[in-house]
Every structure is written in structure tokens, then in C-alpha cells.
Copies of this chain bind each other. A is one copy, B any other.
Amino acid sequence: MAKSDTKEWRQEQVIEATSRCIVEKGLADMSMKDIAREANISTGIIYHYFKNKEDLLLQVIKKAFQKSHEQVMETVETLSSPVEKLERHLENILAVPKENPDFFVVLLNYLGEAKHHPELQAIVAKFFRNLRFYVEQYLQEGVEQGLFAPEQVRHLPALLYSVGLGLGVMWMMDPESVDANGAGKLFLQWMLEHLGVGRTEPDA
């Protein structure tokens, strides 16, 4: 157990150092030496824990996705009403760029590569599909409870995540000109109206 723990801890350590390097220098300008230095280890030992750089980078994005997934889900599961879940879910998504900007930087660094790396593309696709799936479930619950009509809920998961992603990217590129929060809330309002959920207080 101790051994296994050490190994996982080391891998974690390297993965986090790599993430920091990506944020600081970018995927393209980051060498294994940079990672080793950032993690305060020798270059050689990285290959004890990861097959090669490609393997390491895949683990990094997997970990980032896992964490982001958890972060988005965190406070949602405690809620019971589908509408509340939906609201909270979108709020969480919209909060990502500001609360976890590093995730966005890392994500953007990988998106460019994904088109040329089938395994990576599959990982990214799965990540988004997973998240959309949860939204679908909330919506389905609502449908079952007679809150929404089935034809209303189509496109909503994709639209919701597109807005989250798009606003995040635009805000990252130009934080001063983009009010991601305001735009996000407007979108949320539209969505709820679309679902026939009247909001008495549309944001104080």
C-alpha cells in the first residue's frame, strides 16, 4: 500500500508540475527538463512513471478533465429539483474560467493538438459528451416530472456547453472586453424561459 501510494503520489507530482509548465510556457515550449525542474526531480525518473512524453501529456489532460468534471458536478448533486440542478450546473460552468483559469489554458493547449491525435481527440470528445450527458439527465428528469416538453430539451446540453466554452475562450483572450458573467446569466435566463420556468427575480 505504501509503495502504491508513493507511486501514485509521484505521478500526481509530475502531472501537476507539467500542468504548471503548460500554463507558464505553453505545450509547445515546454521540455521534459522544464517539467523535471518544476517538479524538483531528475529528468530520468519521469520515464519511470510515464512511458514517454506523449503518455505523460495524455495523463495530464485526463487528470485535468477529471478534476474539472468533479468541480462542475460538485454542488449539483446535492440538489433535487431539475431546474435547480440546471441552474447550478450552468453557473458552475460559467465559473470555471475565473475560478480555474489554468484549466482553460491547459484545455486550449490541447484542443489544437486534438485534430492530429486521434486518442487525444477521443478523450476530449468523451469529456464533453460526459458532461452533456449529465445535463441531459436533468432535463429528462424534468420531462418525466412534466416540467418540460421533450422537444424543448433538444440541443440544450450542446448549447449550454458551447456557451460555457465559447465565453471562456473569449474571456481568456480579452478579459477586459468580455463580460462572461453577464452574458452567461442572460443565456441562463433565456434557457429557463425557453423551458417555461418563470424566474421571478431575474438577477438583482
| A140 CB within 8 Å of chain B | no
Given A26-B112, A29-B116, verify A170-B182 contact (CB < 8 Å).
no
Residues of B within 8 A of A108 (CB): 108, 111-112, 114-115
User: Interface-forming stretch among A5-13, A82-90, A120-128?
Assistant: A120-128
| A183 CB within 8 Å of chain B | yes
Q: How far is the CA of A162 from the CA of B23 in the complex (A)?
A: 23
Q: Chain A binding site: helix, strand, loop or mixed by DSSP?
A: helix
CB pair B159–A26 under 8 Å, yes or no, is: no
| A161 CB within 8 Å of chain B | yes
Q: How far is the CA of A169 from the CA of B132 in the complex (A)?
A: 14
Residues of B within 8 A of A159 (CB): 163, 167, 183, 186-187
| A154 CB within 8 Å of chain B | yes
Chain A contacts to B: CB under 8 angstroms:
23-29, 105, 108-117, 121, 124-125, 128-129, 132, 154-155, 158-159, 161-167, 169-170, 172-174, 177-180, 182-183, 186-187, 190, 194
